[in-house]
Amino acid sequence: MKKTIFSSVAVAILLLSGCSSKQPAVDQKSTETTVQQEQNSNAGEAQEVATEEVSSDMQEVGSENVAKSQTNEMSMEELQSKFKTIHFDFDKYNIRPDQQPLLEEDAKIAKEAPAELKIRLEGNCDEWGSDEYNFALGLKRAKSVKQGLVAHGVDTKRLTLISYGESNPVCTEHTKECWAKNRRVDFKVLP
Amino acid sequence: MKKIILYILLVATLFATDLTIEVKKSVTTLPSLAIEDASITYSDSFKMRFFKALFADMNVLSLFNVDKHRRLTYFKATDVVVENKDKDYVLRYKMFEDDAGKLNVEVKLIEHANTVFRKNYKISKKSAYVFLAHAIAYDVNKYMGGEDIGWIKRRVVFAKVVAPLKSEIVVSDYTLTYQHTILKGGFNIFPKWATSRQDAIYFTSMDGKKPTLKYFDIRRGKITPVASSEGMIVCSDVRDDGKKLLVTMAPDSQPDIYLYDTAKRSFRRLTTFSGIDVGGQFLGTDKIVFISDRLGYPNIFMKAIEGSSVEQLVYYGKTNSACSVHGNYIVYKARESSNIFSKNTFNLHLISLNSDFIRRLTATGINEFPRFSKDGKAILFIKNYKNQSAIGVIRLTYNKNYLFPVKHGRIQSLDW
């Protein structure tokens, strides 16, 4: 359930008239210069004008259903933890030879899992990209894993894909090892 | 304008540096300007913040050699302060709060003891003071006959990641000093201005079953879903009239570029390559520029909306994964170092479809998210250098970059 807070920016500037003009001497030599402005540390002065809260009415849930749901969730969590994350090289979305055995293991786990459970393949990238390309790269990684699973007999209808680009890191240090950990496809088991 | 840029393309030094020391080459030829503060109300810290904002804007005009000292005086004083006697111009202002609690600023520009420009400004929210500084800069620039800087008043919309899979969408001025969160909670990314009036955005919501493109009418606070796609869906560009969008989506797990007609609510697929095609940008009325890995690495390509042939536009850089288009000009982000993870990795470059010349716009750090201003005369970008982030504005005509240090969560995407 998400909470959305929004408001509009209303900036009213009273403008009066100007006067005549005068052209200064401007040097247009091809130099690139940088002037820095020291900015106040608490520059973020966002103000929340309106708050929209989604009501959260409690619903009575039968004890039998709760028990069943908890069992399912536990088994799903257990199942999810069995899957091996697949890792990728920088800017690549092909399955590396060293990841192939892991993918085969994942296919086996997926096939042995209850057929009604769906598996979401979540593509991720390191921080060395920007904008849409990184999201597409994450998606292509997820697609490669999907193709590998299907090739090993997993029903394609059980698999969905999503990309999180660089927005879901498992490691936030700025090191090669850390970036390598983030170039991955995770498995999420869904009911 | 284009002739001016073309002229600069021909004369620009390829490996210009960001170092401030280079200023010495040109400051001596610019008229000098000092700023005098005659404010009566407000705290010293607020007065200093306003002065710094005005000082920065006066620098960004690229018309003056601006004195960094804040001199105090009376607004009606007949003489400029003694330290400013030899300045060509003095910009004197007085801030005061009126009975309605609004921030008022009286401004006059003095040239050799004569007041040559005078104007009053008012804003209801004191926290938005930086917009007043931008308005003053706009008017001083106009009075001085500088190149139009309408972009200085425009707003930036950006998404920042505050935690894994948690983000906020923020509207700010071009220096990111004034920040106003318009969407909080959940995972909402890729904001894009939907109208030239900047009163609505498109953005991608990642909270549902599938990524969903949504339209957010900011004034009414109303959010409407546009379309969903498995894998990803992103609005990459909005045509000037707002009637057509370029959208990257992957209904069959394959990221391609689609043209969306807002009136008919229909999509038309424009690319069919089996790899990655993303980041479509309108080029005139009949072509698009986009990012593709069809050569094995991300690079910039062009194709006609009605045609199928694709043309490579950029032949320099190893990972050219983002670009912005205006007229015949394209600014793109390129990885130049052969070492994938070395420092000084990504720089911005400008190319023209009318020539083979490449102009390097930045020289240090990781520079990303290039965005042309509406008039194409300036480029906004994010620079990460020595563990610091800054938003930069490049004034193409004057060949100068200005940086404003920012402290915030990681910027995911921005639009100007």
Domain total for chain B?
2
Per the domain annotation, does B213 fall within a domain?
no
Residue ending a domain, choose from B90, B111, B146: B146
pLDDT recorded at residue A28: 28
Structure confidence by residue, pLDDT tens digits, B110-126: 998 899 999 999 999 99
pLDDT recorded at residue B338: 64
| Contact yes or no for B193/B415 (Cβ under 8 A) | yes
Are the Cβ atoms of B218 and A129 closer than 8 angstroms? no
B249 and B368, same domain (yes or no): yes
CB atoms within 10 A of CB A10: 11
pLDDT bracket for residue A176 (50, 70, 90): confident
A17 inside 8 A of chain B by CB: yes
Structure confidence by residue, pLDDT tens digits, B282-329: 999 999 999 999 999 999 999 999 989 999 999 988 889 999 999 999
Structure confidence by residue, pLDDT tens digits, B64-86: 999 999 999 999 999 999 999 99
CA-nearest residue of chain B to A33?
B400
The pairing of strands B410-415 and B322-326 is unpaired
Structure confidence by residue, pLDDT tens digits, B7-62: 443 333 333 332 222 333 444 589 999 999 999 889 999 999 999 999 999 999 99
Residue ending a domain, choose from B114, B146, B178: B146
- Shortest alpha-carbon distance between residue A82 and chain B (Å): 22
B193 to chain A: which residues are within 8 Å by CB?
Answer: none
Nearest by CB: A23 against B145, B363, B405: B145
Contacts of B324 (CB under 8 A, 6+ apart): B281, B330, B331, B332, B370, B371, B372, B379
Residue A57 pLDDT > 80: no
- Shortest alpha-carbon distance between residue A49 and chain B (Å): 9
* Chain A (150-169) residues lying within 8 Å, Cβ to Cβ, of chain B: 160-165, 167-169
| Contact yes or no for B232/A136 (Cβ under 8 A) | yes
CA-nearest residue of chain B to A190?
B209
B98 and B158, same domain (yes or no): no
Residue A186 pLDDT > 90: yes
- Shortest alpha-carbon distance between residue A14 and chain B (Å): 5
CA-nearest residue of chain B to A50?
B221
- Separation of alpha carbons B309 and B111, rounded Å: 58
- Separation of alpha carbons B222 and B215, rounded Å: 8
B411 to chain A: which residues are within 8 Å by CB?
Answer: none
| The CATH number of domain A82-190, selected from 1.10.8.50, 3.40.50.2020, 3.30.1330.60, 3.40.50.300 | 3.30.1330.60
Three-state helix/strand/coil letters over chain B: CHHHHHHHHHHCCCCCCCCHHHHHHHHCCCCEEEEEECCCCCCHHHHHHHHHHHHHHHHHCCCCEEEEEEEECCCCCCCCCHHHCCCCEEEEEEEEECCCCCEEEEEEEEECCEEEEEEEEEECCHHHHHHHHHHHHHHHHHHHCCCCCHHHHCCEEEEEEEECCEEEEEEECCCCCCEEEEEECCCEEEEEECCCCCCEEEEEECCCCCCEEEEEECCCCEEEEEEECCECEEEEEECCCCCEEEEEECCCCCCEEEEEECCCCEEEECCCCCCCEEEEEEECCCEEEEEECCCCCCEEEEEECCCCCEEECCCCCCCCCEEEEECCEEEEEEECCCCCCCCCCEEEEEEECCCCCEEECCCCCEEEEEEECCCCCEEEEEEEECCEEEEEEEECCCCEEEEEEECCCEEEEEEC
> Across-strand partners of B310?
B303
More confident residue, B208 or A87: A87
Residue A7 pLDDT > 70: no
Considering just the CA atoms, what is the radius of gyration of chain A in Å? 26
A30 to chain B: which residues are within 8 Å by CB?
Answer: 8, 11-13, 16, 399
A:B CB pairs within 8 Å: 296
Contacts of B377 (CB under 8 A, 6+ apart): B1, B147, B148, B149, B151, B395, B396, B397
Residue B140, domain extent: 31-146
CA-nearest residue of chain A to B160?
A167
The sheet carrying A184-190 orders its strands as A86-87, A184-190, A118-123, A159-163
Q: Which domain CATH number covers B57?
A: 3.40.50.10070
pLDDT > 90: what percent of chain B? 75
What are φ and ψ of residue B216, in 5° steps? -120, 110
- Shortest alpha-carbon distance between residue B334 and chain A (Å): 11
B138 and B155, same domain (yes or no): no
Q: Give residue A104's region: left, alpha or beta (phi > 0; psi -120 to 50).
A: alpha
| Contact yes or no for B106/B94 (Cβ under 8 A) | yes
Instruction: Write out the E strands in chain A.
Output: 4-6, 34-36, 50-52, 86-87, 118-123, 159-163, 184-190
What's the whole-number mean pLDDT along residues A53-63?
33
- Separation of alpha carbons B214 and B212, rounded Å: 6
Q: Which domain CATH number covers B403?
A: 2.120.10.30
- Separation of alpha carbons B293 and B277, rounded Å: 7
Which of A5, A8, A26, A147 to mutate: most B Cβ within 10 Å? A26
Q: Pull the structure tokens for residue B328.
A: 């015949």
Class of residue B245 by CB neighbours under 10 A (exposed 0-12, middle 13-18, buried 19+): buried
A11 inside 8 A of chain B by CB: yes
B299 and B260, same domain (yes or no): yes
B156 and B105, same domain (yes or no): no
Helix (H, G, I), strand (E, B) or coil at A73: helix
Residue A43 pLDDT > 80: no
Are the Cβ atoms of A91 and B319 closer than 8 angstroms? yes
Helix (H, G, I), strand (E, B) or coil at A173: coil
Helix (H, G, I), strand (E, B) or coil at A111: helix
What DSSP designation does A97 have? G
Which H helix or E strand runs over A29? Answer: none
Residue B181 pLDDT > 90: yes
B267 and B302, same domain (yes or no): yes
Are the Cβ atoms of B177 and A43 closer than 8 angstroms? yes
Nearest by CB: A161 against B23, B123, B253: B253
B404 and B272, same domain (yes or no): yes
Per the domain annotation, does B116 fall within a domain?
yes
B157 and B104, same domain (yes or no): no
Are the Cβ atoms of B184 and A4 closer than 8 angstroms? yes
Are the Cβ atoms of B16 and A31 closer than 8 angstroms? yes
A169 to chain B: which residues are within 8 Å by CB?
Answer: 164
B377 and B281, same domain (yes or no): yes
Residue B3 pLDDT > 50: no
Structure confidence by residue, pLDDT tens digits, B333-355: 998 776 656 665 789 999 999 88
Are the Cβ atoms of B122 and A44 closer than 8 angstroms? no
Instruction: Give the Cα-Cα-Cα angle B284, B286, B289 (nearest 5 degrees).
Output: 70
pLDDT > 70: what percent of chain B? 91
Nearest by CB: A37 against B55, B216, B369: B55
Give the torsion through C-alpha atoms of A125, A129, A131, A137, to 10 deg.
-50
Give the torsion through C-alpha atoms of B165, B168, B174, B178, to 10 deg.
-140
B360 and B300, same domain (yes or no): yes
Q: For residue B58, what are the CA distances in angstroms to A189, B20, B214, B405?
A: 56, 16, 38, 17
pLDDT recorded at residue A68: 44
CA nearest to B179, candidates B127, B245, B249? B127
B60 and B157, same domain (yes or no): no
CB atoms within 10 A of CB B5: 21
pLDDT recorded at residue A66: 42
* Chain A (118-157) residues lying within 8 Å, Cβ to Cβ, of chain B: 128-140, 142-143, 146
Class of residue A191 by CB neighbours under 10 A (exposed 0-12, middle 13-18, buried 19+): exposed
